[in-house]
Amino acid sequence: MPDIAMPPSLTVIRHPLVQHKLTLLRQKQTSTGEFRRLAREISLLMAYELTRDLPLESLAIETPLEPMQAPILSGKKLCIVSILRAGDGILEGMLDLVPSARVGHIGLYRDPDTLVPVEYYLKLPEDVADRLVIVVDPMLATGHSAAAALTRLKEAGAEQLRFACLLAAPEGVEVLTGAHPEVPVFTCSVDRELDEHAYIRPGLGDAGDRLYGTK
In this predicted structure, what is the pLDDT of residue 13? 96
Catalytic residue among 11, 110, 130, 192: 110
DSSP state of 45: H
Show binding-site residues for uracil.
200, 205-207
Residue-averaged pLDDT of the chain: 92
Catalytic (active site) residue 102: no
- In a 13 Å sphere around the CA of 104, the CA atoms on its Cβ side amount to 26
Averaged pLDDT for residues 5-20: 92
Q: What is the domain range of residue 134?
A: 12-51+76-205
The answer for residues whose C-beta is within 8 angstroms of residue 76's C-beta and 6 or more apart is 127, 130, 131
- What are 113-153's pLDDT values in tens digits? 776 778 899 999 999 999 999 999 999 999 999 999 999 99
Nearest to 49 by CA among 25, 23, 19: 19
CATH number of 33's domain: 3.40.50.2020
Distance CA(118)–CA(108), nearest Å, equals: 5
CA dihedral sign of residues 15, 47, 20, 9: negative
Indicate whether 215 belongs to any domain. no
For residue 3, what pLDDT is reported? Answer: 56
Give domain status of residue 5, yes or no. Answer: no
* H or E element in which residue 93 lies: helix 88-97
Mean pLDDT of the 95-106 span: 94
Tens digit of each residue's pLDDT (9 = 90 or more) over 181-206: 999 999 999 999 999 988 999 999 99
Task: Classify residue 2: in a domain, yes or no.
Answer: no
Query: Is 63 marked active-site?
Result: no
Task: Give the pLDDT of residue 115.
Answer: 67
pTM given for the model? 0.91
pLDDT of residue 27: 96
94 within domain boundaries: yes
Confidence at residue 110, expressed as pLDDT on a 0 to 100 scale? 72
Mean pLDDT over 34-61 rounds to 95
User: What's the pLDDT at 4?
Assistant: 58
Amino acid at 86: A
For residue 123, being part of any structural domain is answered with yes
Is the per-residue pLDDT at 12 higher than 80? yes
Angle at alpha carbon of residue 213, lines to 163 and 141, rounded to 5°: 30
Residue 62 included in any domain = no
Torsion, Cα of 39, 89, 29, 109 (10° steps) = -140
Instruction: Give one word for 205, left, alpha or beta, with left for phi > 0 and alpha for psi -120 to 50.
Output: left
Q: Is the pLDDT of residue 17 over 60?
A: yes
Domain membership flag for residue 4: no
Q: Is residue 71 domain-resident?
A: no
Write down the catalytic residue from 14, 201, 209, 214: 209
Number of domains in the chain: 1
